[in-house]
Every structure is written in structure tokens, then in C-alpha cells.
Amino acid sequence: MNLVFLGPPGAGKGTIANKAKEILSIPHISTGDLFRSAIKNETELGKKVKTILASGELVPDSVTIDMVIERFMESDTQKGCILDGFPRTIFQADELSKIRKIDHVINFELDTSSVVKRLSGRRVCKSTGKTYHTIYNPPKIEGIDDETGEPLIQREDDKEEAILNRLKVYEEQTAPLIAYYEKLGLLRNIDASVAPELVLQELLSLLSK
């Protein structure tokens, strides 16, 4: 089964994908995570996209699509996957349709003020990518990753100026995908404002229909 998780940054796509991937036994492919890992490892791709990510702009379509195609070549994606943060433009969606049959597009619905609260409180462990929230999902010890004991960081693009830009980019370039997938009969809306366990439950019940 191939799923696309759509929705504004901070809606909880990564949080739910991390839980759902175990239950559905398919990998979670986050293009944001792939870019951050390239930046951390200082690869050619990482050097190319570092400033783009920090600003909240989108990486060019061709670069993003090539990276996804490469990821699809890995055998764990044969049974399907959860795409999180891809596609983000109509062009990416058109390209994706040529290489994968998408079963459902899950649209995480969340109002803007909640999005801002979630993004500004998000903290991550740089080495594992594990995500917390200062209020909604705090670590056991403030500022420290539960598993590695490393200090948690705030993503560069979770700082106020970049958040506002990302929301603008989302509205202009990604939100049109809602109508695009609705027209194809693939769109499934879920209420992302409730606790993660309830969001997950809604997702699983929708998939079992």
C-alpha cells in the first residue's frame, strides 16, 4: 500500500507516520528527513540544499524527484510506503503518478494557530531525528533525548521567520494538491487537532474501510 501524507508543516505527519509504519509494515519516507540527513553528512546534495531548508523554501522539483526515485530503488519500498512531505507541488504529484500507484492521500487538517504552536515547540534529536514537543510531548528530562541522552535542538526552520515563510509556501505551492487529489478520488481528510493516538486510530479505521 502506498500512502501520501499531506498537510501543513507541523500537522503531525511525521509523528503519525512513525507509529503507522510499524503497524502497516511499510517504510516511512520523509523527504525532509532525507534532506536533513544529506546536510548532516555534508554530501553534495546536502551542500546544495542547506540554505534552502533553513529559509523554508522548497528544494527544486528535479532535485527532490531524483532523490525520491533513488529511494524507491531500495527493496524495502516494494510493498509500499508512507510518503511524508512528498509530493509538495503539482509537478511532483504528476511525476509521482508515473512511478507509483497511490492508494490513499491522507490530508492532515489543522488550523494555522495550532500549526504555529506545534512548530515553535518542536524539538528534535539531531542524531536520530526523534521528535518531541516542549508541551505536548516533552522528553523525560527537559532538553534531553530520552534514548541517546543528547541535547535536543530546535530546527533552523522552526524559528519564527522561517515558520511564517513555510506556511506561505505551503498555501501557495502545496495546498493546491488537496483539490488535485480530491478530483482523483484519493483524498481522505483527517482531524489532526486531537491527540496522536486518536489521529492514528482515525487513520487506521479509514484504511480498514
Select the residue interacting with ligand ADP from 3, 4, 6, 15 (CB under 6 A): 15
Binding of ligand AMP by 8 (CB under 6 A): no
Q: Which is nearer to ligand ADP, 96 or 133 (CB)?
A: 133
Q: Give the Cα separation of 141 and 139 in Å (integer).
A: 5
Q: Give the Cα separation of 33 and 104 in Å (integer).
A: 22
Binding of ligand AMP by 123 (CB under 6 A): no
Strand partners, 30: 84
- Report the Cα–Cα distance between both ends of the chain, in Å, rounded: 14
Residue 12 touches which member of ligand ADP, ligand AMP, none, C-beta under 5-8 Å by kind: ligand ADP
Mark whether 188 is an active-site residue. Answer: no
Strand partners, 93: none
- Got the DSSP string for 141-181? STTB-TTT-PBPB--GGGSHHHHHHHHHHIIIIITHHHHHH
Binding of ligand AMP by 9 (CB under 6 A): yes
Mask of contacts with ligand ADP, 139-178, x by CB under 6 A? ----------------------------------------
Residues that bind ligand ADP (CB under 6 A): 9-15, 118, 121-122, 131-133, 136-137, 195-196, 199
Residues annotated as catalytic (active site), given as ranges: 13, 88, 122, 155, 166
